Amino acid sequence: MAKASEKYEVMYVINPSFTEEETAAVVEKFKALVEANGTLEELTEIGKRKLAYEINYISEGYYVLMKFTSGPDFPAELDRILGITDGILRRLIITRPE
């Protein structure tokens, strides 16, 4: 039997050429999306860091980590929306161990 909610962690990287306002808007968009579909437990803006390798000639990115609890269908939708959002260089969603 499937559990009603699972614990997840998502890290995404925003294009560093975005202004502070644009970056804040992207962070707020995904914070609101998670809150609308689950429970946000932690939001950490790690900030600008050098990427392990260049993505489209970009060598650094603005990292954001969110820990949340949601139903099992939401992470796929979150991944889809992250994937079509301008300025998101990379994203990864994992299930957190209990």
The DSSP code for 19 is -
Element (H, E) at 25: helix 20-37
Q: What are phi and psi of 97, to 5 degrees?
A: -65, 150
Superfamily of domain 6-95: Ribosomal protein S6/Translation elongation factor EF1B (3.30.70.60)
Return the SS3 of 1. coil
Quick: pLDDT tens for 25-54: 999 999 999 999 999 999 999 999 999 999
Quick: pLDDT tens for 76-95: 999 999 999 999 999 999 99
